[in-house]
Amino acid sequence: MAITRQDVEKVALLARLQLSEAELATMSEQLAEIVGYVDHLAQVNTDGVEPMAHAIERSNVFRDDCVVESLPREEALAGAPHHDERGYLVPAVLGD
């Protein structure tokens, strides 16, 4: 499956990555090569095989509805790159 530069640009946006011209070129090549390799999975006969999303399959794992003390606000915000006393600050979110 050929991976076009446009594909790569679309994926880069979905992944929120900014790639330079050089990176776009290299990335296109490398992705094409890797995807070309994994493409051979298409030839493996998997009829009737259930997908395995978990390495060990468990079910019905729960916790009780108990309230546990939250992080103090200063601790929660301590690692935030940009914040005031109340919360995280990010460039304005539009279209709300």
Partner 1 sequence: MSILQRTACELVGSLRRGELSSAELTQACLDRIRAVDGQVGAFLRVDEQRALEQAEAIDQRRAKKQALGPLAGLPVAVKDVLCERGELTTCASRMLADFRPPYDSTVVAKLKAADAVLLGRTNMDEFAMGGSTENSAFQVTHNPWDLARTPGGSSGGSAACIAAGMTPLAIGTDTGGSIRQPAGLCGVVGMKPTYGRVSRYGLVAFASSLDQVGPMTHSVEDAALLVEVIAGHDPRDSTSLDEPVPQYSATVNEPLAGLRIGFAKEHFAEGLDAEVDQAVRAALEEYESLGAKVEEISLPHGKHGVATYYVIAPSEASSNLARYDGAHYGYRTDEQEMLIELAAQRKQLQAAGDQRGLDNLDSALVRMYRRTRAEGFGPEVKRRIMLGTYSLSAGYYDAYYLKALKVRRQIRQDYDRAFEKVDLIAGPITASPAFKLGEMTDDPLAMYLVDLYTVSANLAGIPGLCLPCGFTKAGLPIGLQLQARALDEERLLRGARMYEQATDWHKKRAPL
Partner 2 sequence: MNEPYTTIIGLEVHVQLATASKLFCGCSTKFGAEPNTQTCPVCIGMPGTLPVMNLHAVELALRTAVALDCEIPPRTKWDRKQYYYPDLPKGYQISQYDLPMSHDGRLEISDTKGRFEPKTVRLIRAHLEEDAGKSLHDEAAGKGDSLIDLNRTGTPLLEIVTEPDLRSSAEAAVFLRELRLLLTYIAVSDCNMQEGSLRVDANINLHIDTAAGKVATPIVEVKNMNSFRAVERALDCEAPRQYREWQETRRVLGQSPKQTRGWDDAAGVTRAQRSKEESSDYRYFPDPDLNPVSFTAEEISRARGSLGELPATLRQRLEGEYSLPAYDADVLVNQGRPVVAYFLAVADDCHDGKVAANWITQDVLRVLKKRNLSIDELPVSSSAIAEMIVRIKSGELPAARARDVFQAMVDTGVDVGQAMSALGIASVDDSELVALCQHIVAANPKVAADVRGGKAQAIGALVGQAKKSNPNVNPNRVREICLELIGAQD
Q: Which two tokens stand for residue 75?
A: 């601790």
Q: Which two tokens stand for residue 87?
A: 């919360």
- Quick one: 36 or 87, whose CB is closer to partner 2? 87
Choose among partner 2, partner 1, none what residue 81 binds, the Cβ cut-off being 5 to 8 Å by kind: partner 1
Tell me how far the alpha carbon of residue 12 is from its chain's centroid. 11
Q: Does 35 bind partner 2 (CB under 8 A)?
A: no
**For residue 4, which of 35, 28, 20 has the smallest C-alpha distance?**
28
Widest CA span of the chain, in angstroms?
Answer: 58
Please report, as residue ranges, which positions from 36 to 65 form the binding site for partner 1 (by CB under 8 A): 37-38, 40-42, 44, 46, 49-56, 58, 61, 63
- Quick one: 49 or 67, whose CB is closer to partner 1? 49
- Quick one: 44 or 56, whose CB is closer to partner 2? 56
HSE-CB for 17 with a 13 A CA cutoff: 12
Instruction: Point out which residues bind partner 2 (CB under 8 A).
Output: 13-14, 16, 53-54, 57-73, 76-77, 82, 84, 86-96
